A and B are shown apart, each in its own frame.
Chain A
Amino acid sequence: MSTLAIHDKVLAEFANQVGDEGSVAVVGGRTRWDSGGPLDPDVRTLEAPTGIIAYQPAEMTVHVRAGTPVADFHRELAEHRQHSPLPERGGTVGGAVAVGENGIDVLGRGRVRDAALQIRYVSAEGRLVTGGGPTVKNVSGYNLPKLLVGSLGTLGLFGDVVLRTNPIPPAQVWLEGVDIDPWKVFDCLLDPSAVLWDGTSTWVHLGGHGPDVAEEVAALNRQGSFVEVEGPPSLPSHRRSLTPAQLREPPTDAGPFVAEIGVGILHTTAPGETAGQAPGVVALARRIKNQFDPLGRLNPGRVPGVGA
């Protein structure tokens, strides 16, 4: 008896739709549709099933179908004062996991790839496969969820995922200060949810128990004058992945930017060149693709790591 045997009609129907022939892709909210390069024309597209299968707030895990809009999903979690690391930028749960980008609150909410405990997906052969398991801790076999997060649907098409959730902090505040060294800001805080910097202003998101947030605000105000604001600044449309240290001197071609201090993401108005992967890593990734999808059925044209 398999404890994870799939008796889910919705998932089975999704697998039928994927089938075992012809190129196929799943459409989510198209918020990152060009990630990994343009999809080949004439690819059959599908939508993933929607809805929350099981949510146990006391377990801090949720089993949700891939086509569920992130906004709906987070609304349900918020009723139990929880959220997840999926970024709040529209789109679907499956899309967010397939792309693997973190939100600007990554320091507070954690990384998408660390939250994906189990992924059930349809293979290139049209078979249902489960990677990982539903518990918060699990080292039973190879870690397929890690491989799948950020794979852009090139190794399997996601039907549903089990995600780890986090409590929403009892108190939260966004603050902004001008002409204050963002690294000193970052270093003076124990546990910020976000520190953003555009070269002039520094925005800080704090969350925790009220007295802790007050203490962090006091620490901030020792660095300079901060005022409470509604939320983060609007972000330029392109994202670059740098090391935290590289943000000290943002690339000169970035144009107006917002940097995620302590993280390394640089939101820019101009697209950047990707550094490119080492040949050995590219070869290994190709071997993985060949193992999982030798005929290139799944999301043809897309290659994880290739810029939009």
Chain B
Amino acid sequence: MFPSLRRRQTVDADPLLADLREALSPKRVRNDGAERSLMNRDASIFTDGVSGPVCLPETTAEVQAIMRIAVRHDRNVVPRGAGTGLAGGAIPLGAPIVVSLKRMSAIIDVDFDNRIAWVEPGVINLDLSKHLIPLGFHFAPDPSSQSVCTIGGNVANNSGGPHCLAQGMTDAHVVAIEVVLPDGEVVMLGGLDAEPEGLDLRGAFIGGEGTLGITTRTAVRITPNPPAVKTLLLSYPTIEDAARTVSEVIGAGIVPAAMEVMDQNATRAIEDFVSAGYPTDAGAVLLAEVEGLAAGVEIDADAIAEIGRANNATEVRAAGSDEERDLLWKGRKGAFGAIANIAPDYYLHDTVVPRAVLADVIVRINEIAARHDVLIMNVFHAGDGNLHPLLVFDAREEGKLESVKMAGDEILHVSLEAGGVLSGEHGIGVEKQRFMGELFTDDDLEHQNRLRRAFDPDCRSNPGKVMPEGHSCADIQALRSVPAEVWG
């Protein structure tokens, strides 16, 4: 009889929470300390996130409502997928509203005529491919975290993965994105047609690390499953031999589906962990996969084997069955889990260098690790020149974390000196902001700011990320502490 009175009795004292709970439902706006603290971190080493209320929207309209409430209360928002990011892109700075997209996890439609699938942002990458494979298709980007990471996160980070070598990164596989802009407007960027008119705002949005708005629905390309796949394991005395093979394969005009290199530290750790069938006496192994029609697969596989042998490969072995192939990939993708057997902490780096200088850069990276007395494992997307040095350590050891960070900085400088870039697939987040000025001039950064400002003039969406201090939305000092008027 008196609905407004009854409702008022359940309303929170905090006006922001009251509005959020009104827009969603009380149980989908979490504000207890335990729930919020779960959002304070992602898979990176950064620990200074402070979450505000955690919202669990189920529709685009609810995300829009959250954004409008954020505008009204002048609060920031940070979108969150599975929290598997490695550059700190999802950690909440300054107690923003955390918008968890995990309840928006429907595969809405698979459209075979247009060879796309409409998905919500919370769909797990591997779940999408599992859904598509029996239908004759798959989603090509396959980050190592694919069994937990989400499509929304892939869009935010322009994620890669081993099979991006031939197929391209996430942005090559996304045709349209529904976005809630930081002012609350809902727009569709891109489209299903061949060349959507106007500026490519879809392309500009992808890889924006959640600073340009929140993805609520995405049309992704679906890729036909290849009829034939061949996975080769090549063993080498040294990692330089493996890296040189990779450069020469590309130079021979062969673009395999994937080319991954692992050094001996990595293969030994993996073998102890999953028994993937890697030789532990080899200095390095190269995992090369070719796919397509059967005859061409054999031609390319033979050519890769020949180049491998010419570069001192001691063994070239082809996976004899799907099970063996799956095991080889399980080892590669489980590499970062394997290190738990060695030390409690790790710092996974991510830089890209021209493929031709891979071997030289690896040698220098190993020298850096030795100088800082840090155990290093190299597991990387060699075909793209995308290095992933993994620094393994125990943070409880005095001074170790500092050594690791110094080694990390030096690795980055070596990569830049070799003509490389800061990140191949993890993004900038908070990890590499301070290096942006080493890759880009002030004018370059100002133009990146312009893109950011056009989408988000008030720095509402995921502030404190990507751009270095002194640039748009990067006032990190202010974001490190919680505003006084905000509950703790």
Contact = CB atoms under 8 A, between A and B. Distances in A.
Interface of A: 1-6, 56-61, 81-82, 100-102, 110-111, 113-114, 123, 127-131, 133-144, 146-147, 149-151, 155-156, 166-167, 190-191, 208-209, 211-212, 215-216, 241-246, 248, 260, 262-265, 274-275, 277-278, 280-285, 287-288, 290-292, 304-306
A245 B293 contact: no
A263 B194 contact: yes
A144 B447 contact: yes
B172 A114 contact: yes
A76 to B, nearest CB: 16
Contact of B199 (A1, A61, A263, A304): A304
Nearest to A280: B187
Nearest to B352: A135
Nearest to B175: A243
Contact of B194 (A190, A216, A265): A265
A248 B112 CA distance: 13
A167 B300 CA distance: 13
A133 B440 CA distance: 9
A146 B203 contact: yes
A26 B73 CA distance: 46
A115 B310 CA distance: 31
Contact of B197 (A212, A215, A292, A304): A304
B250 A288 contact: no
A149 B196 CA distance: 12
B381 interface: yes
Nearest to A1: B438
A278 B186 CA distance: 10
Interface stretch (B12-20, B312-320, B416-424): B416-424
Given A245-B111, A260-B194, A278-B188, A130 B440 contact: yes
A252 B176 CA distance: 27
26 contacts: A1-B438, A3-B416, A4-B440, A59-B354, A60-B255, A81-B253, A82-B253, A111-B172, A135-B384, A135-B419, A136-B355, A137-B164, A139-B426, A140-B428, A143-B207, A144-B451, A149-B203, A190-B224, A209-B299, A212-B296, A216-B293, A241-B197, A244-B113, A285-B198, A287-B457, A288-B199
Given A114-B172, A143-B206, A135 B197 contact: no
Contacts of B251: 57-58
Given A265-B195, A281-B187, A292 B203 contact: no
B72 interface: no
A182 to B, nearest CB: 13
B378 interface: no
A242 B386 CA distance: 36
Nearest to A125: B443
Contacts of B248: 58
Interface string B5-23: 0000000000000000000
Nearest to B441: A2
Given A57-B251, A134-B354, A304-B199, A140 B443 contact: no
Contact of A146 (B171, B198, B428, B444): B171
B200 interface: yes
Interface string B295-318: 110011000000000000000000
A139 to B, nearest CB: 5
Given A142-B451, A208-B292, A284-B181, 5 more contacts: A4-B440, A135-B353, A138-B352, A243-B114, A244-B113
B253 A140 contact: no
B197 A137 contact: no
Contacts of A140: 421-423, 428, 432, 436, 439
Nearest to A154: B199
B354 A100 contact: no
Nearest to B185: A280
A156 B187 CA distance: 25
B232 interface: no
B157 interface: yes
Interface in B388-437: 416-417, 419-428, 432, 436-437
B133 interface: no
A136 B441 CA distance: 21
B204 A142 contact: yes
B181 A190 contact: no
B199 A305 contact: yes
B261 to A, nearest CB: 15
Contacts of B181: 280, 284
Given A135-B354, A142-B448, A143-B203, A242 B428 contact: no
Contacts of A57: 251
